[in-house]
Structure formats: C-alpha cells, structure tokens
Chain A
C-alpha cells in the first residue's frame, strides 16, 4: 500500500530532522553496550566459565542482546499512549488510514534505521576491541534465529500496543506509569545483557512460559546453537501462542478504549 510506504518515508525524515537528538540516541545505545560488555569482561578475568557460558559465548550473547534491544525492544510506538492522552489520535481516526498498521510501519521504519546504524557501530566495536565471537555453524540456526526475531518483533509490537491501549482508562502522564513498569520488568525478564539460564532452574522454568524471555533470550539461544530441535519447536510454539494472545487482547482493549475515548484536547 502506497500510503504506508509514505508513512515509512516520513518517519525516516522525522527521525533525521534533529541531528543532535539522533546522535545522542545512538551514543546511549553504545554506552549501554559498553557497560554490559565491561561487566562481563571483569567477570571473565576471574573465571573461564560462568554458568555454562565461556568467554566467546557470553560476548556473543551480549552483542546479540544489544542488537535485539534496538531491533525488538524499540520504543517508537510508546508514543501511542501520548497520542491517546493528548487527543492527537484524532488526526488518524478521521482519516482513511489504519492506526495499527501505520504505527507498525513507523516502528518498522525505526527498526530498520536502528539496524543500519547498529551494523556500522558493531563493525567499529569489533575492529577496536576484537572480542571473541561465535557464529552458528549450522545455517539452519541462522535461519531460525531470523525467523524468531521477526516473530518477536510482531509479538512485542502487539504487546506494546496493548499496553498503550490502557491509556484510554489511565491517561495520566500519557500512559507512562504502566509502560515504565512494563519496561523495567521486560529489561530484566527478557535477558537483556544477562542470559536467563544462569538463574536457578525453578525460576528459569517459569521464565520459559512468560512471553518476555522470547524478546531476547530465546532467539539468541537459537543463534548460539544451544537449543535442541524439540526445544526450538517449543520456542516457536510459545511465541506463536503469545503473539496471538497479545494480538487479540490488543484489538479487544483498543475497541473498548475507543468507545470511552474522550478525544481530549478540548
């Protein structure tokens, strides 16, 4: 659809308007990476093995989670809450354009921009600090990894949309209280920077059924070749189930929310 292509283009133009803002956003992402990287660097000067990760596995995990942070856990669609609370949603609702799809397009535009810059930064980082890395020797693992990432992007989008939709009922602070709460939980439970299987088995078993670990941890496990075929099947099944749940829930909550929507801003 041509209209969504145009939305894609205008999102890029919009992101690139403020060069300083853009640069700072990238620096923030590099700093997050450096912090986590040196944390594990320090750990590995004392040990050769942490849980069952050696140096190269762990560094690959950290770089991978930095990639998935900017690719999956993008925060562009967090503006949906603000649009509901301020009434800017009106601009979309009166036009022949699908709000859900247009935000997905904007999110996608953002993620691709992220990916481009991340690749540049990653090349630099690898050239400078030369960390030991592993790559899948089975091309199937790479393929499954890409599939899992795409599915996780969808899943996170539905989830994020669902969280934003609650702003209809709680418009205070543009819906940030709930979103911030969820972000904190996700940051931990997704396994961003810290692999989840270093936790005790009981806790890890709970993580397996929660959606959050599928935003980072499990896709990376596939990449690192640490999952058996039946575990990969399990991973995809859980991801598909959660995606459907989040999709359905977000539609239901959205529809209900629109009915009580006050179209504020006078």
Chain B
C-alpha cells in the first residue's frame, strides 16, 4: 500500500538578488531583480507502508523542501502530493495526528521549560488518552534512557539529550509516518548510534513509514534499504542501496602494501589503473571493474607485494563522484 505519493512535484521560490555592499543595498530599495529558485523540480516517487527510505543529496538539493511539502508546511508550485490519503497542505487534524516531522536543527520543545511540560502539551494537542500517554512515554524514555532529565529546563540539556527529547515529543502520538530531517546532526558517534538504533527499532516495532535525510552515510547505510538521491531539485537515483554500487561504481579499489620501496612510475605500466594514493608502503589504486583480476595478478607478479586487498568503492566515494562529476541538465 502506498503511504506517500509524489507526482511531478515542483516548488519554486521567488528570491531577489542584491549586489554586494551599501550601494547595492540602496539600489535594491528602488529596483529589485527577482528570479526563481527551482528548489524541487519535477520529482515523483511512491513509498509503501513500513518502508524506511533514505533521502540523500548535497546541501540545497531540495531534501528539506520536499519534507516540508510532505508535512503541509509549504505550498507546492505544481504537482500532486498525497500522504496517508490526504493532501498535506489542507492540514486536516486527522492527518496531522498521524505524522511527525523532526528537524535536527530546529527546536520544537519549549526552551525555558522542562521537556515534560512540552510532552504534556502535546498530549492535549494530539488528544492522547492519559493511559496511552503514560505507556508511550514510559516506553520511549526507557528506550532512550531519559528518565533523569525530563524535569530539567530544555535550554540546559546537551544537544544529544535535547535531540532525544525532540524524538520523544514527536513520537508521543505514535505517528504512522515520520519525517526525520538530519536527526543525528552535530551528535557524537555514540549518540548517533543510539539515535540510529532507536529509529530502526521504532520502524520495526510500529511498522512506521519513515523518510530520513542525513549527511552521514553511516545513518543511511545502517538504516535504509532504499535510497532516493536528489540533486538540484531532481531525482537521479531511486532504488536499493547496493544498486548504486552496481550502477555507478565502474571501478574496484586495490589496496596494496609493499615489502620494499618501488618506483611510482613502474606502477603506471599496469593497464587500466588510476593511482589514487601512493604513500610508501601503501598504495590505493582504482581499477576498471573488468580489469581488476588482471591488474591484481600483474601486481603480484611484478611487484614486492606484502598484502593486497580488492574492495568495492565506498558509497560515500561513489556519491561524491556522482555529485561532483555529473551534470544533470
């Protein structure tokens, strides 16, 4: 069953340009040049119930804009949007009770009050029955180990503690659909891992449909089977994570450790390779997929190799290459 459907979605922003400096500021008082920024430019996808989808792309690619449209915050310029059978923009309470949006860089809690106050407010806003509220809150605070900090002013919490509280506050009404916009941003690795485990758990226990954006590939690798990659407002990949490797990685990586010093020039004699790094005793070579075996055997034959390792390019590398090397227009 499709929980989320996007069809030919477009969102253009009108912005004005200002020349730098005071003169530019004065000019812009009288005459403003406007142009459209195509934040989201004709994207379509469907997401099924219970899917955990990673939504990735560089800064300004249109990820957050898409999530905001799915949440009913932004009015789309064109296209169809459907979440749980509703048009998000109508902002029907029945729809709003079934989803949540968490932004890693935004605070939804009342800054000057303990998190518990915000939770109780959400209980009333989402009309959660007392018994269910108590049960959910207990479960969530246990999962995230939060009991001790619920009564401390939010402004006095650490970033990680606050992020956990944000998650609890967003999940109290047990949403079926969850939009997480960089939920692990700025957190240390231990905390990232905890949040990640929690998201995975929530997805499995509650069959929740989740879209996650993140700049940390670890988040995506660990959580998502399916990824949607977006750049400059357009989707250019939508599929299984390991498909990216098949589709875009035409190289394999050879990691070599040498016994004795060698001349870098000699390495170039091997066919179809590119030296990515040479720092004796180590070298990293990129080799065309088809020639990988040949190159490996040539290396073993002609060079004093102590150790040789053939691996796939990392997803980070592939995506970086794709983003830097690709022109979508």
* A: number of interface residues (CB 8 Å): 27
Given A6-B124, A96-B125, A17-B113 contact (CB < 8 Å): yes
Contact yes or no, A6 B121, CB < 8 A = yes
Contact yes or no, A95 B13, CB < 8 A = no
Give the shortest distance, in Å, between B72 (CB) and chain A (any CB). 7
**Complexed CA–CA distance, A266 and B291 (Å):** 45
**Complexed CA–CA distance, A146 and B41 (Å):** 56
The contact of B120 among A6, A87, A263, by CB within 8 Å, is A6
Q: When each residue 49-76 of chain B gets 1 if its CB lies under 8 Å from chain A and 0 otherwise, what string results?
A: 0000000000000001000100111110
Most buried by B among A13, A17, A95: A95
**Complexed CA–CA distance, A90 and B13 (Å):** 18
| Interface presence of A130 (CB below 8 A) | no
Q: Contacting chain A: which of B102-110, B140-148, B192-200?
A: B102-110
Q: Using Cβ atoms and an 8 Å threshold, which residues of chain A touch B127?
A: 2-3, 96
| Interface presence of A10 (CB below 8 A) | yes
| Interface presence of A20 (CB below 8 A) | no
Contact yes or no, A263 B105, CB < 8 A = no
* B: number of interface residues (CB 8 Å): 35
Contact yes or no, A258 B75, CB < 8 A = yes
Contact yes or no, B106 A3, CB < 8 A = no
Q: Contacting chain A: which of B93-101, B218-226, B232-240, B292-300?
A: B93-101
**Complexed CA–CA distance, A3 and B181 (Å):** 27
Given A2-B124, A96-B93, A91-B108 contact (CB < 8 Å): yes
Q: Can you name the residue of chain A whose Cβ is closest to the Cβ of B179?
A: A94
Contact yes or no, A261 B73, CB < 8 A = yes
Given A13-B117, A14-B112, A96-B126, A265-B105 contact (CB < 8 Å): yes
Give the shortest distance, in Å, between A258 (CB) and chain B (any CB). 7
Q: Using Cβ atoms and an 8 Å threshold, which residues of chain B touch A266?
A: 64, 103, 105-106, 181
Give the shortest distance, in Å, between B34 (CB) and chain A (any CB). 12
| Interface presence of A229 (CB below 8 A) | no
Q: Using Cβ atoms and an 8 Å threshold, which residues of chain B touch A14?
A: 110, 112-113
Q: When each residue 45-89 of chain A gets 1 if its CB lies under 8 Å from chain B and 0 otherwise, what string results?
A: 000000000000000000000000000000000000000000110
Q: Using Cβ atoms and an 8 Å threshold, which residues of chain A touch B72?
A: 93-94
| Interface presence of B31 (CB below 8 A) | no
Contact yes or no, A93 B121, CB < 8 A = no
Contact yes or no, A94 B71, CB < 8 A = yes
Residues of B within 8 A of A (CB): 13-14, 64, 68, 71-75, 91, 93, 96-97, 99-101, 103, 105-106, 108, 110, 112-113, 117-118, 120-127, 153, 181
Residues of A within 8 A of B (CB): 2-3, 5-7, 10, 13-14, 17-18, 87-88, 90-91, 93-97, 258-263, 265-266
What are 8 A-B pairs with beta-carbon distances under 8 A?
A6-B121, A13-B117, A14-B112, A17-B113, A87-B106, A95-B125, A262-B74, A263-B68
Q: Which 10 A-B pairs have the closest CB atoms?
A: A96-B93, A6-B124, A3-B124, A263-B73, A96-B96, A17-B112, A259-B75, A91-B108, A97-B125, A263-B68
